[in-house]
A and B are shown apart, each in its own frame.
Chain A
Amino acid sequence: MEKLAEAIYGGLLSGSVLGLMALGLTLIWGSLRMLNLAHGSLYLVGGYVAWTLINWYDLPIWPAFVVGVVAAALVGLVLQITLINPILGKPGWDNASLIATVGASIALESIVLLIFGARVKQMPVALEGQFTLGTISKANQGLLIIVAALLSLFLLSAFLRRSRHGMAIRAVSQQTDAALLMGIPTRQIFLIVMVVSAALAGLAGVLLSSIFYLTPTAGFNPMIKALVVTIFGGLGSIKGTIWAAYIIGLLEAFLIVYMGSSWALPGLFLFMIVMLVIRPNGLFGLGEMQRL
């Protein structure tokens, strides 16, 4: 019984984290048709800015977190304007955008390395203390992460469903030419998408680094996992991504709890291989995606 609770809690936590990271990626892919490999470094920006404010400037935790998220959003804005806008839609876009984001991520990581060094940094938790589930106690921070993730997902979904700009984002993702004909300013929309996505990555960085520590390479793994989740859930599909995040999170947690952590990743991938062989159209049968 304990193991089950552990697995479910772990799965929800993991799924929430994956969801936060993956959502940003899927939004960008859906509208810009771009794979944003700088996403992991935006995670870093959030975490490190917050850490700096807390440790060097004695800012209390919550404001520091908020500033961290905003900082990530700003960096995303800058990246969009300097790197993405100049090559948007031009021939070679697919690959050039890939290289541009790779370059940006290498540069950002090395900036972090230069300023902060490679030593692991500890981020204080936003929510102290623990709570008990039966006989297990877990850090409150974990609960905070789950709540924050669910809240963000909910808010984002509402934004996309109801607001004029949110609908415009969906429209641009589904049919860009028609969106242009409605007078939707696609460049502005892309900017909004990038800023939101960067903020989500920053949020993940800020929340997670208190559990997983902060190093210059900390953003990489969450990003890769998020990529897997994004593809699995159907690139560009918000609903699919959220489902995929929690399914994969729970699967991973169950594998860890019941079979040991060395089985987590291979088990996950074996599952994926089997899934893809049986259902070549992906989890939600969303069919062929146009291009990477």
Chain B
Amino acid sequence: MTQEVGTLPLELGLEEKIQNRLHSAAGPWAKPNPLYLGITLVVALILPWLISQMNGGRFFLHLIILFFGWGMLVQCWNLIMGVSGIYSFGQVALFAVGGWTTAVLATHYGWNPWVSIWLAPITTVIASLIIGLPTLRLRGIYVVLLTLAFHELLRNFTTTGPKIISGGGYGLKTVPKLGFETWFGGGYDKILYYYVGLVFFVITTYAIWRVLHSPIGMAFRALRDSETYAISRGVDPFRFKLFLFGFSAFFTGLAGGFLTHYQGAISPSLFNFGILINLLAMIVLGGWGAFWGPIVGTGILTILPEVLRAAENYRNLSLGIALALIAVLAPQGLGPLISDWVKKAFRFFRKSQQQEAP
């Protein structure tokens, strides 16, 4: 199995390896070209208007909004698992904490959702520290168990706990939404949710991008590749892990609040393992640990099931087969594959531009 790489000669030093990973994780843009960034931004701003003109546009917008919310969570989860190598399965639980916080405040205590949504990240961060602390001493796989335990405990609590939280086991179904339904005479709600989601998504993506390219990001990678080496270079694993948990929990909780208010409901079905596995697949499919990976993966797994909806009964079957095929044909995830293509496309572009110049 590990035939070729049993003992890599240490000439390829650890620092070099980390540097390489840093650059590959940045995808084709190590330093984003402001022009391309600007174009993407403009497209993103115009997009909802274009889509809403299409048949089924509302549904498509709905998918994109979901993509924003889940994309935030998946990126945060990737930061913990893919980049830092901590096998935490508590991300959904944290998402739930955020969602429930704002849901309870808005539903039962009459808070304005625009205000309560900002409490979600705060409680989520606190929760993440509670979950995170015991995992600090655990190695590898046992973190899975511990975080799964919290996941299950929280599921139990939200199903059988006090009525304001559990709604009798069915969750909260009457969570106030952000009020877009009446703006501009109605009908523009999806577009407005799109913008809110876009803002949150962009902030999250940017924050993660900054962290990945900072010394903190390198420290995370060092922790994953070799904890002993990292410690010998002065990285204090405890503080970094706690920061990691808190940082990713913040945006996870925000995502939870956002999606809860968008859908106007939250229920314990959130804890179903099917969802957990789906989210895991999003990270892995796009390319574990890479920057663009989770975004690509979330996109695919949000869109693909719907694209396959045409196949109706055969939808899940096709999905399963598609996943298996992708795994076999692109073992390193689709992210690296796609970023390869994009790089090639840019090179081609640049070459043809050079050819045009006299």
Q: Does A73 contact B (CB under 8 A)?
A: no
Evaluate whether A91 and B332 lie within 8 angstroms (CB atoms) in the complex, with A102-B277, A110-B317, A266-B153 already known: yes
- Contact indicator B332/A96 (Cβ below 8 Å): yes
Q: Does B18 contact A (CB under 8 A)?
A: no
| Chain A residue at minimum C-beta to C-beta distance from B289 | A95
State in angstroms the CA–CA spacing of A97 and B332 once bound together: 10
Min CB distance, B73 to chain A, in Å?
Answer: 18
Docked complex: B278-293 residues within 8 A CB-CB of A = 280-281, 284-285, 288
- Contact indicator B320/A90 (Cβ below 8 Å): no
Min CB distance, A108 to chain B, in Å?
Answer: 7
- Contact indicator B152/A265 (Cβ below 8 Å): yes
- Contact indicator A92/B281 (Cβ below 8 Å): no
Majority DSSP secondary structure for residues of B touching A: helix
- Contact indicator A104/B273 (Cβ below 8 Å): no
State in angstroms the CA–CA spacing of A33 and B277 once bound together: 19
State in angstroms the CA–CA spacing of A220 and B315 once bound together: 19
- Contact indicator A269/B87 (Cβ below 8 Å): no
Docked complex: A49-107 residues within 8 A CB-CB of B = 82-83, 86-100, 102-107
Contacts of B325 in A (CB 8 A): 103
Contacts of A109 in B (CB 8 A): 316, 320
Min CB distance, A102 to chain B, in Å?
Answer: 6
Contacts of A232 in B (CB 8 A): 145
Q: Does B156 contact A (CB under 8 A)?
A: yes
Most buried by B among A86, A104, A266: A266
State in angstroms the CA–CA spacing of A270 and B176 once bound together: 34
Contacts of B274 in A (CB 8 A): 220
Q: How large is the interface on B (under 10, 10 to 19, 20 to 34, 35 or more residues)?
A: 35 or more
State in angstroms the CA–CA spacing of A180 and B157 once bound together: 50
| Chain B residue at minimum C-beta to C-beta distance from A263 | B156
Q: How many residues of A contact B (CB 8 A)?
A: 60
Contacts of B285 in A (CB 8 A): 99
- Contact indicator A177/B277 (Cβ below 8 Å): no
State in angstroms the CA–CA spacing of A113 and B326 once bound together: 23
Top 9 nearest A-B pairs (CB, nearest first) are A107-B320, A103-B323, A106-B320, A103-B324, A96-B331, A92-B332, A92-B331, A89-B1, A269-B149
Q: Which residues of B does A touch, CB under 8 Å?
A: 1-3, 6, 87, 134, 137-142, 144-146, 148-150, 152-153, 156-157, 160, 273-274, 277, 280-281, 284-285, 288, 313-317, 319-328, 330-333
Q: List 24 A-B contacts (CB under 8 A).
A: A83-B328, A96-B284, A99-B285, A102-B281, A103-B320, A103-B321, A103-B324, A106-B316, A106-B323, A107-B319, A109-B320, A110-B319, A114-B314, A176-B2, A177-B2, A220-B273, A231-B145, A269-B150, A273-B153, A276-B134, A276-B138, A276-B149, A280-B142, A290-B140
